[in-house]
Amino acid sequence: MTLRSLILTASAAALALSACSVDDESVPNPDTEQDVIGAEASVDIDTDRADVVEADADANMRGDLAGDADMTFDADALDAVLAAQDDSAKARYDARNPGETLEFFGIAPGMAVGEALPGGGWYSRILLDYLGDDGRLVGVDYAIPMWSEFDFGDDDFVASKESWPETWVADARGWTDNDADIDAYTFATLPQDGSLDAFLFIRALHNLARFDASGNYMADALATVHGSLKPGGMVGVVQHGAPDDADAAWADGSAGYLRQADVVAAFEAAGFELVGESDINANPRDMPTTDDAVWRLPPRLGTSDDNAELRAEMEEIGESNRMTLLFRKAG
């Protein structure tokens, strides 16, 4: 049974929060964070889509969870969009699993979808073509003050972020031929108008968590997303996952990993409920310790430039282990 039919009941066990550094691969170009970080763990998991789905049993289709039974996942449409992407995008499919991930999240043509840290648009290009003429994509960047938390965030760089929404919208209009609406905001300016059907955090939580203590960045971002969603709106999360028993201080986002239980707790505190979890993007070979950071792994391989043996070891592990979670706006 797939998402095209009934949605199965999810386990509501608490998972754990993790943290990851700016662009998941160090910080060479924060504007393309998702493209740099985006290389998710390559995992030899050849499961049918139906085998990885766990979701809320209160509705028969994911579209009902978002409040509109007319908007349901369209596998054929998404397959066509994925087939039409360029070769550089397709080269990342085995690591990012976009088809299975968007199906699990229940993203459907015609939806209004927010995307955190869309960067150079790897996922955005897929979403724009898939959402179609009646859809809407909203890119959302960090609140501008948060950029000053990074080592590279000097005054000039922070000032340059002021124009990001306009620049990103202009770029995104060149990524599709359809008439989907395109908007961009920061987490400090995203309208609280309950207009979005879904919101995606794809490798975008680690820095929010990492700097939350100094600026409430994660708490504020989740509260903002809650206000931007329709009643019953969904939030999809893909995030580097720390071991459940990982040291909390290490798993604060600065090493690139978050504990799933902490992620769930943060979303619940913001008024969301966990309705599904999946191993679509899991990699059991990635078992980091407190001496490790996510950038040691592909595609960054940041610790093995001059060590062929270590590089081979990291390549054997593959990309990071990632949690894939689905939340619903409660109340």
Q: Which two tokens mark 302?
A: 């940041």
- At residue 8, the pLDDT reads 33
89 falls within a domain: yes
Residues in the chain: 331
Rounded distance, CA 56 to CA 3, Å? 12
- At residue 53, the pLDDT reads 45
My answer on whether omega of the bond before 109 falls inside 30° of 0, hence cis, is no
**Neighbouring C-alpha atoms within 13 Å toward the C-beta of 7:** 26
- At residue 99, the pLDDT reads 98
33 falls within a domain: yes
262 falls within a domain: yes
1 falls within a domain: no
**Residuewise pLDDT in 10s, the chain (331 residues):** 333 333 333 333 333 333 333 444 333 333 334 433 333 332 333 334 434 444 443 433 344 444 454 789 999 999 999 999 999 999 889 989 999 999 999 999 999 999 999 999 999 999 999 999 999 999 999 999 999 999 999 999 999 999 999 999 999 999 999 999 999 999 999 999 999 999 999 999 999 999 999 999 999 999 999 999 999 999 999 999 999 999 999 999 999 999 999 999 999 999 999 999 999 999 999 999 999 999 999 989 999 999 999 999 999 999 999 999 999 999 7
297 falls within a domain: yes
Q: Contact 15/277 with Cβ under 8 angstroms?
A: yes
Per 3-state DSSP, what percentage of the chain is helix, strand, and coil (rounded to 5)? 35, 15, 45
Q: Contact 208/24 with Cβ under 8 angstroms?
A: no
9 falls within a domain: no
- Residue 163, domain extent: 18-329
124 falls within a domain: yes
The CATH number of whichever domain residue 121 belongs to comes to: 3.40.50.150
Sequence-distant (≥ 6) Cβ neighbours of residue 220 within 8 angstroms:
143, 187, 188
Please state the pTM of the whole predicted model.
0.83
Number of structural domains the chain divides into: 1
- At residue 6, the pLDDT reads 34
Chain center to CA of 106: 14
277 falls within a domain: yes
Cross-strand partners of 272: 329
